[in-house]
Structure 1
């Protein structure tokens, strides 16, 4: 059999294994299939290449440019994913496991690409939160901005998800505008290397945006600065060692960790045998034990169930696990493959033996292949969960889980929290009060709480599925970090900076018009100007329009909105908010549109909505209103049109603000 050389990609060059290379075996056969590692990598050159070449190239792009880059990369990987499937079988993963790792990673990139376009500006500065008025007249303001770190993100990934583990970190990093150096676990780095090659060969990435270390990092962490970041996934012991690096401590290098986790699943007291919830609980527990052969950071390690349901649960779960077909993952009939290596097999068996000192194993050995790192699903039952130690502190990273009985909801919460912090705890219940009690009692110990029952089960994503929209991480033993979480995850690779200054200064920095900033007038009506011609701050002031009593009453009868404040003078006066009969707020909006709209066919294609509507002061018959319409923000959507966000204010005859909102239009490019 040919032994593949798994290379590193450093400072723009592919470097084959050298001194320090180690052999990698197939999880299926145990035979060597590859080798990786090179102690001669110039880590300083890699860091310099990222900082001086990759970083500047990414920072020249806008968030939308980088979002489009992510989408293109994801689509390129999707076209070539079969090659990744073929390699991944040797990690012990089945085709179903590939869908989680490879397709899941690609899907995560697509989500970040979408959120980057929808929730971030087509600009180089991200505005974080609202403007703070720091002076009486609004001439001195404050805000928070986020800008990319000017260093490099070092990603240290675990063996169990060689593709998803890389892409879920890489997507928010690139979207932030920061280059990455990826270090996969050596045991499965051959799959990661193939994925990196595909992305580099696409020609989409700027030089220096992505580098790869196949093997050890050497002393790379000793060269990091305050502008760098480390994201780690792996064991708590390794995480502690890396986090304690003197250079990381001295420079306050950002360190995000996702580590060991004794995740729990709680069967609600209402989910009795025979209910849909009980069946769902058994299905989820079995799936989490056997998917990826239990080698998931989110897998269920502790099954917490009412004392009265223990016997039925052991019987149902044991029966389901007994039907699991274990074998060569390339066989379509296989439902559980091998652990990643013989070393991992020995580790799992040793930790299962520790658990066995406090719990009884209730499932027998399965029939296993003669070669490879295969193990049987191991379900334990601990009758003394309050005094046991290993079941709450020992993670056997394989198909191993322990059933723990609880007396009441408070006891279930106590047991779940004894894990010392986890990535996820699931609760199967239809009882809202049980769900609320567990959220309040256990939320502080878990990064995610997953509730499911017959109402949501058909569409739920499962206990063990982190989603890019939500944070993935957890307190305490789980590492204390957060990954993904939508735009929250992007901010991990950016610096939040408070800025203070005049409205003009804040407008220039954020590329978003701030009230009080300079207004720009044009001889042309802004609705006659195309997207590319409009400028931030361009403003239209309209003529005034008087609001009459006839207008108010006609609008009331025409729309059917005959609320007393619009129709009954005496009743309106008894309301502390109104001086008497007043105009409808929506009448004011309609008249405002009539004042500023240019009616002829032109570049304004559609009104797509309004945001942040507020009514500040009532308008009576005899009052007049006038409108100020200002280009607040522009966002290109494609080559044909872009979104214009207009700041709209309505003022009365005394120049008092009566209403304010943001109008959204799509304008031809």
Structure 2
């Protein structure tokens, strides 16, 4: 079927648009209506290999890795200008393929990655220590050893984002890879390829040399080719911990560097003296933002037993005003899950919570009057034991759990009793006690009383334990795509 969009939805390989070698297209469906949004080419293995070869050639022979960092930053700024010019188009595509409500599509999905792009070009690259002298050392019988330490691009990168934040996650990989002087093959999730394919237009407008960025489609077979191909030096993947382990294993044979941003079951600790209004807002956001399809959302709230019942009542009242529906309707405040399969998974976990004895206090079903689309009501369980399935498994849906505790030590123990460690929060009038708890929670980021670096590019994003390896955003993200080279000589 013809695409309704003005941009090309063909593959982007070696600076050119091309059709995929597979006869079966990738069908992109609107998760709110289940209608077909577009059909895009399905990459064959030959397509993926051509993209890898183009990236390899561009890194080994092309100008991009040999440009001065400031020259690459200038290209990134031109790319940012093109992104900004076409923001309305990005927003519309995001709402259609990812099911975001407009407020989310206009902020975290699109404008935030644009801010990260500008920050990389304007702040990080100019201030980064790309080369610095080594301290001279006297070597008896040899002379004075001296030299420099250089930071150089890692090589060819396979970039594999998840479906929930298509443009955001793609750009969080593309930005540091390009700034570092790497070349890349970007493979978006099959459910949401359109925004990533649009990046090819931005690359052309910015004057990116051919082969520096290549964009292919595909699912498991294409992903396996990217994670095992000997010409790929680094793999950056965002998705579930189960697939992350597969990626790590596949990359191990050729000892590729692996950056993984995986799942979460983040703890939101509310002490007895915590601001209940603020804590309720944070739990509400964790359940309803993008229908709970976010790895760092706060979905496991650990509340002091003295305020547990009041907290649950307030949160249920807040959830009751959510209007679930098609994001195309301006009155909608929470959209759909990405697919029927994802809704089935969420509903199965809801049933497990009921069977294990958790108290279902609101939601739990499908919204009335929505016969099409992958919708689930905002759902809350109370009196949850941390050993229950619903306290240990990532829903990736609009479901929260509330776990009571008596003492700070117990709250920290519950927070850490998880295979994940991506984000977290503490609410307390005693900021010293809150900070102490934050230092003891084994997680990549903690906010206190709602104060947050949020998606600030000066912060670092990543997880402990099964939430991943490495960090993203700003200078921390750039560092993952760089090698350190020592060049030394003897001064006689």
| TM-score (normalised: structure 1) | 0.67
Aligned to 2:484: 496
Q: Give, in whole Å, the separation in 1 of the partners of 2:13 and 2:255.
A: 25
Q: Give, in whole Å, the separation in 2 of the partners of 1:362 and 1:221.
A: 44
Residue by residue over 1:211-247, the C-alpha shift from the partner in whole angstroms, topping out at 9 and shown as x without a partner, is 111223262333235x7100000111111112111xx
Aligned to 1:86: 92
Q: Give, in whole Å, the separation in 1 of the partners of 2:422 and 2:353.
A: 21
Is structure 2 residue 464 aligned with structure 1 residue 468? no
Deviates more, 1:373-382 or 1:475-484: 475-484
Residue 74 of structure 2: which of 68, 72, 75 is its match?
68
Residue by residue over 1:302-358, the C-alpha shift from the partner in whole angstroms, topping out at 9 and shown as x without a partner, is 011101111100110000010111112122221111112222212221223233333
Residue 300 of structure 1: which of 279, 298, 301 is its match?
298
Where in structure 2 are the equivalents of 1:320-399 lying within 5 Å?
320-358=318-356, 359-364=358-363, 365=365, 366-367=367-368, 369-385=370-386, 388-399=387-398
Is structure 2 residue 243 aligned with structure 1 residue 238? yes
Deviation at 1:107, TM superposition (A): 1.1
Residue by residue over 1:498-543, the C-alpha shift from the partner in whole angstroms, topping out at 9 and shown as x without a partner, is 3433579xxxxxxxxxxxxxxxxxxxxxxxxxxxxxxxxxxxxxxx
CA contact (8 A) 2:76 2:206 kept: no
CA contact (8 A) 1:143 1:500 kept: yes
Deviation at 1:54, TM superposition (A): 4.9
Q: For residues 306 and 477 of structure 1, do their structure 2 counterparts lie closer, same or farther at Cα, with a shift above 3 Å needed?
A: same
Question: SS where residue 461 of structure 2 aligns?
Answer: strand
Is structure 2 residue 15 aligned with structure 1 residue 12? yes
Aligned to 1:285: 283
Residue by residue over 1:183-211, the C-alpha shift from the partner in whole angstroms, topping out at 9 and shown as x without a partner, is 110101122212x1331331421111111
Aligned to 1:181: 185
Deviation at 1:254, TM superposition (A): 0.4
Residue 111 of structure 2: which of 74, 96, 103 is its match?
103
Aligned to 1:588: none
Aligned to 1:449: 446
Residue 313 of structure 2: which of 312, 315, 324 is its match?
315
Q: Give, in whole Å, the separation in 2 of the partners of 1:477 and 1:117.
A: 30
Is structure 2 residue 159 aligned with structure 1 residue 152? no
Q: Give, in whole Å, the separation in 2 of the partners of 1:300 and 1:116.
A: 29
Deviates more, 1:421-430 or 1:174-183: 421-430
Q: Give, in whole Å, the separation in 2 of the partners of 1:384 and 1:255.
A: 35
Residue by residue over 1:428-473, the C-alpha shift from the partner in whole angstroms, topping out at 9 and shown as x without a partner, is 223133223213321xx201111125xx5xxx45xxx433222211
Q: For residues 337 and 134 of structure 1, do their structure 2 counterparts lie closer, same or farther at Cα, with a shift above 3 Å needed?
A: same
Q: For residues 402 and 383 of structure 1, do their structure 2 counterparts lie closer, same or farther at Cα, with a shift above 3 Å needed?
A: closer
Is structure 2 residue 424 aligned with structure 1 residue 425? yes
Q: Cα RMSD between the aligned structures?
A: 2.3
Higher gyration radius (CA): 1
Aligned to 2:25: 21
Q: Give, in whole Å, the separation in 2 of the partners of 1:16 and 1:269.
A: 60
Deviation at 1:89, TM superposition (A): 1.6
Question: SS where residue 83 of structure 1 aligns?
Answer: helix
Q: Give, in whole Å, the separation in 2 of the partners of 1:250 and 1:171.
A: 27
CA contact (8 A) 1:64 1:120 kept: no
Q: Give, in whole Å, the separation in 1 of the partners of 2:147 and 2:416.
A: 41
Question: SS where residue 301 of structure 1 aligns?
Answer: strand
Q: Give, in whole Å, the separation in 2 of the partners of 1:300 and 1:441.
A: 17
Q: Which consecutive unaligned segments of at least 5 residues does structure 1 have?
A: 272-276, 505-669
Q: Give, in whole Å, the separation in 2 of the partners of 1:371 and 1:100.
A: 26
Q: Give, in whole Å, the separation in 2 of the partners of 1:23 and 1:347.
A: 22
Aligned to 1:198: 201
Regions of 4+ moved over 6 Å: none
Q: Give, in whole Å, the separation in 1 of the partners of 2:344 and 2:39.
A: 21
Q: Which gives a bigger RCO, structure 1 or 2 (Cα 8 Å, sep 6+)?
A: 2
Aligned to 2:51: 46
Question: SS where residue 198 of structure 1 aligns?
Answer: helix
Residue by residue over 1:57-84, the C-alpha shift from the partner in whole angstroms, topping out at 9 and shown as x without a partner, is 2112111111222222112101111111
Q: Give, in whole Å, the separation in 2 of the partners of 1:224 and 1:20.
A: 27
Q: Give, in whole Å, the separation in 1 of the partners of 2:123 and 2:272.
A: 39
Q: Give, in whole Å, the separation in 1 of the partners of 2:201 and 2:14.
A: 17
Is structure 2 residue 486 aligned with structure 1 residue 480? no
